[in-house]
Amino acid sequence: MLEKKEKYNVAVVGATGAVGKEMLSILAERDFPLGELRPLASERSLGKEVECGRRKVKVEVLGDDSFAGVDIALFSAGAARSKVYGPKAVAAGAVVVDNSSAFRMDDDIPLIVPEVNRAAIPDHPGIIANPNCSTIQMVVALKPIHDVARIKRIVVATYQAVSGAGGRAMEELLEQVKAVGDFRFPSPQVFPHQIAFNLIPHIDAFLANGYTKEEMKMVNETHKIMGDASIRVSATCVRVPVFRAHSEVVNVETERKITVEQVRELLAYAEGVTVYDHPEDLIYPMPFEASGHDDVLVGRIREDLSVDNGISMWVVSDNLRKGAALNAIQIAEELIPGGRAHGNAAAEQARG
């Protein structure tokens, strides 16, 4: 917990990227008690202005001396920069909330989704890790079920938006859609294959076990966040031609029987979850609806007919918000005395 202050100085590393811009927007939306705002990026962004609500602030170049006087440093610039500058920020007195994979599996660094394991936040050594976007939305939906019926096994297939690969990936999808419409053959630059009107069952590098790094992140991070390494997890991660919001088919096998009605009721009252589950009226979560939404949306809740104690569901969430920027700022709110209640109230007011 940080010392109680009226305002807190915040640095945003990677402030001109897709997640960094989202962080700035959410800081304003949630009325974070912001003192000095220090947007940091590479030399390419020097002099650019970023917006945080009504504030317009010029970007500074990230360097060794960037963190003097900073209380909280939000990192969204990739693992390489986090490994170099995260410890420097801590040495300068800041608490780092890191969105990269740099520290997620370090034993002494908590990996946090506030709705699931906020109790682990006080154990941080100056750095708190933000999980992978696909893992975040899955564990938010599954933790209430695990608490009641104990999950033994998870089989998940993800349908991940191109924004998960950054701004250039979003531009590539748009350019390829236009090219195909003009009967041209687009040449992929960001992705290994054409993404427009296509699916790519490959996110991040392949490992010796046949899974990708993205898929193994879901395995290992789920164990750490849920605090239960006995849960068996199998993931298949697919890139889809959607700009924003990841979708997942999640099948779970539980130790104790839990009904569809019980799951709906649990999730209806779960923090950070909205249930969209009236298929008879064609109501179920979709990326279009999830984009810009803070909650994890869950629908298509039904029995998994292939096992005795099985539940299947469809889980959708904005990967740039809850999957990255929002989760990081929720962690920051937990660091300030009274911050979580204040932030949640602001968010509720924003949602109407």
Q: Between vectors from CA 327 to CA 222 and to CA 4, what angle results, nearest 5°? A: 120
d(CA 14, CA 123): 26
Active site residue 133: yes
Question: So what's the pLDDT on residue 170?
Answer: 96
Run means of pLDDT, 10 residues per run, the chain, 352 residues: 94 96 97 97 92 96 97 96 98 98 98 98 97 98 98 98 95 97 93 97 98 98 98 98 98 98 98 97 96 97 97 98 98 88 41 36
d(CA 52, CA 303): 44
Please give the domain boundaries of the chain with CATH numbers for all domains: 8-102+323-351 (3.40.50.720), 135-319 (3.30.360.10)
For the chain, how far is it from start to end, CA to CA, in angstroms? 30
In the block, tokens 């001109």 appear at 16
Question: So what's the pLDDT on residue 338?
Answer: 82
Give the active site residue among 124, 133, 146, 293: 133
DSSP per-residue string spanning 48-100 = -EEEETTEEEE-EE--TTTTTT-SEEEE-S-HHHHHHHHHHHHHTTPEEEE-S
Give the active site residue among 52, 124, 146, 246: 246
d(CA 347, CA 133): 20
Crossing angle of helices 133-149 and 213-226, in 10° steps, is 40
Question: So what's the pLDDT on residue 339?
Answer: 67
Active site residue 246: yes
Question: So what's the pLDDT on residue 285?
Answer: 98
| DSSP state, residue 45 | G
Question: So what's the pLDDT on residue 241?
Answer: 98
What sign does the CA torsion over 74, 76, 82, 88 have?
negative
User: Are 14 and 40 a contacting pair, CB within 8 Å?
Assistant: yes
Question: So what's the pLDDT on residue 352?
Answer: 36
Choose among 257, 262, 265, 248: nearest CA to 310: 257
- At 186 the three-state DSSP class reads coil
